[in-house]
Structure 1
Amino acid sequence: MSASFQKARKYALVAGAWLFIVPAISSAHFLELIPQHAVVSEQTSQSINLDIQFTHPMATGPRMDMDMPVRFGVMTRGEQQDLLGSLTIHEEDGKRHYSASHSVARPGDHVFFIEPEPYWEPSEEVMIVHYTKVIVSAYGGSSAWDQLVGMPVEIEPMTQPYGLWSGNLFRGVVLKDGEPVPGAMVEVEWRNDGSVAIPSDEFATQTIKADQQGVFSYAMPREGWWGFAALLTADKPMKNPDGKTVDVEEGGLIWVYVQDME
């Protein structure tokens, strides 16, 4: 065997090894709460469908198994309605996700919200609880898009979270127990429809640090659903499935839809 052949073979083996150790594109955990429409009008269906899954939106998966949520509901004009009984369970590859249908009859802003069962993430050694909401405008009714559900961690929108053009700036304030969180970290992901290839991990999840008033802002460059996740460590730990005491990642999530201007 010639020296040049041995050298080429060595490089080929090293290159082949790198194929196995270079990690795949990864992104953050996001609880998706995606309505069929961000704005309900006389031209759309009165019944609105919502898709619910725990996944990595920008990487288009994989989906994590999701237990039945603790709470699922909608708030309109300060009144909350329990929608837990409307959930339909779907299972694919042993991973559960959900859907629901809700008839939107009243004008006004409808805040759909969900509190999931805690999820154990062994790779990060934390329990994850992401309190998630999305605001749907109906029939041009009174604006109450900044009304708070009252979740332990919540993003209060400072920009109307619907009727947005791509390129618009979204602003929000991170709240914990109703109080702003200075310097809170907010992760941002676009719900990839498969049309965008991710060059590297750095492009999958983008991160914002809120200011001293807990306020953050982000200009959304592309049409579609954008998720904003404010991530904090809970005051109290939990037991993981093995009975070990671990930290809890509490997230306050909001989903926002933007549309291209044509």
Structure 2
Amino acid sequence: MRLLPPAGLAIACLAALPAQAHFQQIIPLADVLPDGGPVTIDLTFTHPVERGPVMEMARPARFGMLAQGAVRDLLPALTPAPIDGMQAWTATTDLTEPGAAIFFVAPQPYWEPAEGKMIVHYAKVVVDGFASGEGWDALVGLPVEIEPLSRPNGLWTGNLFTGIVRRDGAPVPFAEIEVEFINDGSVIPPNDDFITQVIKADANGTFSYAMPRAGWWGFAALTEAERTMTAPDGREVPVEEGGLIWVKATDMGAE
């Protein structure tokens, strides 16, 4: 049996480890504001089911809100909100009109040495102002984006969430979607397969998933960009572009 040198052993051990799913979180304090008013949005780059580790998140390239057909730049409203010594962000804004407010973030590229690629995950979440039930299916126009076919507000636990994965506006056939929920620590996955659920879209880019537990669920459609980026060591490397949407499931009888 040939013994691996220390460097080779380190590489082999790294390859044997399960890849952690990175999720760009964009989480409001509530998904419906029956009376409108202020809403706080927290931005964190982390591993939701495993409750970390939190990764350093540079100030986003874009952060805004689509409402009433217009995009509002919210980047000036962002303030640092470090978690576990890593940079994260928060912002508060007022919803003064009925209708969906679609908050979105385009983060700076993140270098993932374990996977040898740059990661850019465009994420969004829908907050319904004054419980209007309107405007929730509008598209921001992100490079990779999930178009909801189920209204992402007012979902009961167990409801089926359905969406279409789009890249540059066109459906992505058989796109892979990773699914995780924000774990409060009460769920211990039996093994690594339970940490990240994986589903595939159909030939029309459409997927569905029934959320079995109350809380925030993230759907991350992953694609490989046609362009490359420069890694910190100067190499040209592939780019993983993700389109994420966060939706909240609520138990019947819960406040």
TM-score by length of 1: 0.88
1:41 to 21, 31, 34: 34
Q: Which runs of 5+ in 1 are unaligned?
A: 1-19
Partner of 1:183: 174
The 1-side partners of 2:19 and 2:144 are apart by 25
**Alignment partners' CA distance in 1, 2:176 and 2:101:** 27
Task: Tell me the residue number matched to 2:47.
Answer: 56
Q: How far off its partner does 1:27 sit?
A: 3.7
1:6 match: none
Aligned residue number for residue 216 of structure 1: 207
Match of 1:4 in 2: none
CA distance in 2, matches of 1:253, 1:179: 16
Give unpaired runs (5+ residues) of structure 2. 1-12
**Distance in 2 between the 1:141 and 1:249 partners?**
35
Distance 1:203 1:37 in 2: 27
Letter of the 1:96 partner, please give it: Q
How many residues end up aligned between the 2 structures?
240
Deviations 1:80-114 (Å, cap 9, x if unpaired)? 00000000112345410001111111110000000
Q: Would the aligned equivalents of 1:26 and 1:59 in 2 still touch at CA under 8 Å?
A: no
State the one-letter code of the partner of 2:78: L
- Per-residue Cα deviation, 1:206-261 (whole angstroms, up to 9, x for no partner): 00110000000000000000000000000101001111100000000000001001
- 1:235 is matched with 226
SS of 1:85's equivalent? helix
Contact 1:76 1:111 in 2 (8 A): yes
Answer yes or no: is the 8 Å Cα contact 2:38–2:93 preserved in 1: yes
- Corresponding residue number in structure 2 for 1:148: 139
Q: Return 124-133 or 191-200, whichever deviates more.
A: 191-200
- Tell me the residue number matched to 1:261: 252
Runs in 1 of length 4+ with deviation above 2 angstroms? 23-27, 90-94
Percent identical across equivalent pairs?
52
Instruction: Measure how far apart 1:24 and its partner are.
Output: 8.2
| Structure 1 residues 26 and 198: CA distance shift in structure 2, 3 A | farther
Matched residues in 1 for 2:212 and 2:85: separation? 35
8 Å contact 1:66–1:97 — kept in the other structure?
Answer: yes
Is contact 1:25–1:59 with CA below 8 Å preserved after alignment? no
Report the alpha carbon displacement of residue 125 of structure 1 after superposing the two structures with TM. Answer: 0.5
**Could you give the per-residue CA deviations for residues 145-182 of structure 1, whole angstroms, max 9, x where no partner exists?**
11000000000000000100000000000000000000
- Secondary structure of 2:193's counterpart equals helix
